[in-house]
């Protein structure tokens, strides 16, 4: 889209938080246009950053939201590593929308935006997301890497340098959990990695996925529990109760491997191990495989309100949180014995 067209979108007064935009899922170009419009509407509060390009040359965008002053703790929210999880970009956009357009009228929003820096990367995998909007490809999960054996796609959330290649990822290029040829072989995961590294003020992060209604901490690659398990569970329980207070929905809290399944090469574990961040995956609505990824559009706003409640709680805790302990302090005596049977459903 040309900058002129983007300016015209920006002129379409977005003014109100929420609103009709969230009544239905939106294609990538609509998401891009809204991001540009938000940055144009409120340059005092937000800046749009191009953090890198996808394989097919699309931009990966981060919206940086903050009031005045610098040196504040930052919290990063991301989504859509997995293309078919359409509620994830909507929830990220809803959080951005509420923070930006609620700033003038809601003192509780203003205090958060003034006390923290919020970084939102709504679509980490734009190629896969665009592909999932094409006929018969709604259930596409991976990026659009040409694996040169007739198959396409790497699972970006198996491509991070966190026990890359381990259990809960596949070396088979045709698999929906194909990990790629090396850690960070994919430009999309590498771009988000570099953005984390370039923003050392980040103290916590949530990567939104669907589905399952779960708040998941490290680790995915091992049943061992992280050194900061108690703190991670305490904050997780806080997000859980904030979510429940919105519409009464229950989101389970736990470490990934024992609560969901093993995941090696995931963003969350990399952010915790490599960057020392309080790190979560939130699996949004629905709870189960019906309707699964095909969450009805009427549930976009209620689900996004749950994501917002969790986000605001994490921002509050991040403003005053102690630094997580480092791996050096990790007692490997962790009792990772929360073994659950793998659930018979597609990876999420
Ligand atoms: Zn996912």
> How far out from the chain centre does Cα 233 lie?
19
**Per-residue model confidence as pLDDT tens for the chain (348 residues):** 334 344 434 334 444 556 799 999 999 999 999 999 999 999 999 999 999 999 999 999 999 999 977 789 999 999 999 999 999 999 999 999 999 999 999 999 999 999 999 999 999 999 999 999 999 999 999 999 999 999 999 999 999 999 999 999 999 999 999 999 999 999 999 999 999 999 999 999 999 999 999 999 999 999 999 999 999 999 999 999 999 999 999 999 999 999 999 999 999 999 999 999 999 999 999 999 999 999 999 999 999 999 999 999 999 999 986 554 443 333 333 333 222 333 456 888
Q: Which helix (H) or strand (E) holds 2?
A: none
pLDDT confidence of residue 71: 83
| 328, β-bridge pairs | none
Could you tell me which residues come within 8 angstroms of residue 80 by beta carbon, excluding any fewer than 6 positions away? 88, 89, 92, 122, 123, 124, 125, 126, 128, 129
pLDDT confidence of residue 332: 33
| Interval between CA 346 and ligand 1 midpoint (Å) | 10
pLDDT confidence of residue 341: 32
| Interval between CA 163 and ligand 1 midpoint (Å) | 18
pLDDT confidence of residue 18: 64
SS3 78: strand
Report the chain's terminal Cα–Cα distance, integer Å.
31
Contact by Cβ (8 Å): 342, 245: no
Please give the C-alpha separations between residue 121 and each of 36, 40, 61, 152, 259, in angstroms, as whole numbers: 13, 17, 6, 24, 26
Alpha-carbon span 90 to 284, nearest angstrom: 11
283, 287, 305, 323: the active-site residue: 283
| Interval between CA 89 and ligand 1 midpoint (Å) | 12
SS3 309: helix
Please say if 283 is a catalytic residue: yes
Contact by Cβ (8 Å): 36, 96: no
DSSP annotation of 212: S
pLDDT confidence of residue 223: 98
In 3D, which of 331, 243, 330, 328 has the Cα closest to residue 280? 243
| Interval between CA 8 and ligand 1 midpoint (Å) | 34
pTM of the full predicted structure?
Answer: 0.90
| Interval between CA 339 and ligand 1 midpoint (Å) | 21
pLDDT confidence of residue 6: 40
Alpha-carbon span 152 to 296, nearest angstrom: 28
DSSP result, 142-201: S---B-SSS-B---GGG-SSSSTTSTT-BS-TTSTTB--SSTT-SHHHHHHHHHHHH-TT
pLDDT confidence of residue 309: 98
Alpha-carbon span 100 to 10, nearest angstrom: 14
The residue count for the chain: 348
3-342: which CATH topology?
Answer: Aminopeptidase (3.40.630)
Rama region for 36: left / alpha / beta (φ>0; ψ in -120 to 50; rest) = alpha
The beta strands (E) that lie in 179-274 are given as: 202-210, 214-217, 252-255
Alpha-carbon span 203 to 318, nearest angstrom: 7
SS3 120: strand
Residue 59 phi/psi, 5° resolution? -80, 140
């Amino acid at each position: 889209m040309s900058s002129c067209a983007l300016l015209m979108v920006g002129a379409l007064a977005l003014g109100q938080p929420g609103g009709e935009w969230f009544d239905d899922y939106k294609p990538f170009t609509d998401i891009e246009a809204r991001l540009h419009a938000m940055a144009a509407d409120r340059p005092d509060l937000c800046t749009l950053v191009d953090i890198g390009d996808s394989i097919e040359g699309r931009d990966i965008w981060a919206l940086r939201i903050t009031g005045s002053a610098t040196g504040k703790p930052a919290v990063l929210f991301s989504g859509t590593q997995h293309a078919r999880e359409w509620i994830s970009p909507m929830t990220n956009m809803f959080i951005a929308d509420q923070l930006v357009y609620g700033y003038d009228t809601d003192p509780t929003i203003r205090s958060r935006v003034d006390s923290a820096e919020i970084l939102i990367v709504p679509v980490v995998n734009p190629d896969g997301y665009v592909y999932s909007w094409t006929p018969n490809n709604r259930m596409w999960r991976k990026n659009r890497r040409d694996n040169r054996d007739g198959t396409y796609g790497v699972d970006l959330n198996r491509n991070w340098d966190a026990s890359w290649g381990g259990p809960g990822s596949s070396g088979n290029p045709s698999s929906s959990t194909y990990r790629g040829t090396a850690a960070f072989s994919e430009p999309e995961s590498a771009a988000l990695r570099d953005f984390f590294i370039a923003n050392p003020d980040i103290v916590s992060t949530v990567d939104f996925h669907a589905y399952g209604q779960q708040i998941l901490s490290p680790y995915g690659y091992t049943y061992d529990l992280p050194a900061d398990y108690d703190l991670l569970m305490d904050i997780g329980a806080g997000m859980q109760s904030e979510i429940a207070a919105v519409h009464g929905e229950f989101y389970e809290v736990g470490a990934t491997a024992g609560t969901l399944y093993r995941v090696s090469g995931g963003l969350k574990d990399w952010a915790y191990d490599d960057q020392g961040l309080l790190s979560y995956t939130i699996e949004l609505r629905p709870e189960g495989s019906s309707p699964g990824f095909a969450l009805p559009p009427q549930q976009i706003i209620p689900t996004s309100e749950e994501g917002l409640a969790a986000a605001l709680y994490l921002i509050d805790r991040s403003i005053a949180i102690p630094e997580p302990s480092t791996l050096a302090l990790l007692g490997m005596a962790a009792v990772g014995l929360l073994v659950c049977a793998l659930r018979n459903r597609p990876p999420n």
